[in-house]
Amino acid sequence: GNHDFDLGPDGLGKSIGVASKAGRVPALLAANTNFAGSDATLSELQHLVKDGVIRRHLVIERGGIRFGLFGLLGKEAQFYTTGAGAVTFSDAIETAKEMVKVVRETEKVDVVICLSHGGLEKGKDGRYREGDDVRLARAVPGIDVVIGGHSHTELHEAIIVNDQIPVVQTGLEGRNLGELVLTLE
């Protein structure tokens, strides 16, 4: 998310580097985050990308079902990203369209999950119906689930977009654990 860059790209790279040297860390998914510049503060992050610790997408197979996951930083979160320095971010919706194509066509996944740090917004009725996570689900065919963040919204039920795509978020600071049960046909 945006606070990952509070210590700058070099601080983020050092933190992830120490964690990865200490043992196995889960893949960090950052599809629309670009570390390709020539700035020296990017060197550790570039090394982590080369080593596969930071990736654009990941495929997990469970019970014969292939899940394709990718991570995005939404437009509002990008706005609040201080200290990112030489890191740049591509458009989340355009990147999501690209990632869906890659995981569906090249990786042959059955389910596409977007891990988004975009956020949700309340509508005039006080219910959460908008925000970067919802706009993403609306705009990108082929996403099956959006697991969101950034706005720290504690949803007790999924927001269903286009009558089929659940958008979920569990709040902040690990206070809650969410469970989403999907039925595949």
Q: CA angle, corner 20, sides to 15 and 24, nearest 5?
A: 140
| Percentage of the chain modeled with pLDDT above 90 | 78
| Percentage of the chain modeled with pLDDT above 70 | 100
Per-residue pLDDT, 81:
85
Per-residue pLDDT, 80:
82
- List of E strands, 11-55: 28-29, 33-34, 54-55
With 90 as the cut, is the pLDDT of residue 161 above it? yes
With 80 as the cut, is the pLDDT of residue 69 above it? yes
Please give the structure tokens belonging to residue 143. 């996403």
Measured distance CA(30)–CA(156) in Å, rounded? 27
Residues in the chain: 185
Model confidence band, residue 79 (pLDDT cutoffs 50, 70, 90): confident
Higher pLDDT, 154 or 80: 154
Q: What residue has token string 């670009």?
A: 34
| pLDDT digits 0-9 by tens, 103-158 | 999 999 999 999 999 999 998 998 999 999 999 999 999 999 999 999 999 999 99
With 90 as the cut, is the pLDDT of residue 184 above it? no
Per-residue pLDDT, 84:
81
Per-residue pLDDT, 118:
94
